[in-house]
Amino acid sequence: MINSFEILNRVFELCVANPELCKLLNINTELTGEELLEEQNRKIRREYQTADVIEPEDAPFISVYFMHAEKSKNNWLVNIGDLYVDIYTHSMYEAQEISLLFRMILANDFQPLLNYEGQHYSGVTGVYKYRLIYNPLMNGQ
């Protein structure tokens, strides 16, 4: 069983390996090396984003992070985590496209349970935010 850091890295790897998602996120795949990695990290962020670090020109991008995890009631060696996926775009249509593709990408790999989805206030004028929350099982040791 993997831990939260390994899950975040796996989600990142799945996202950057998907050409359609890279296109939707406007990732310049003609870049190479450190420049490409920097671009990918700017578009698929592995931490919570506050409104003061987001600029409208940053969108579209995804923020993937864990807020917390707690012990499973059935097995003390397993944690159930809340994996947040915040999708920042300029419109609901863009959020829908990215959300549907992201859900398909995750379902094809490790099939975590989608617990919640819905629109959220981004705190930034001109930026639409849509949230998914998954509950993956993680190493609880």
Fold classified for 4-45+56-139: Alpha-Beta Plaits (3.30.70)
Domain-wise residue ranges, the chain: 4-45+56-139
Question: How many beta carbons lie within 10 A of that of residue 112, not counting itself?
Answer: 17
Which token pair is 58? 């940053």
What is the rounded average pLDDT for all residues in the chain? 91
pLDDT tens readout for residues 43-81: 999 999 999 999 999 999 999 999 877 666 777 677 778
Q: What is the pLDDT of residue 79?
A: 72
Residue with tokens 């790897």: 13
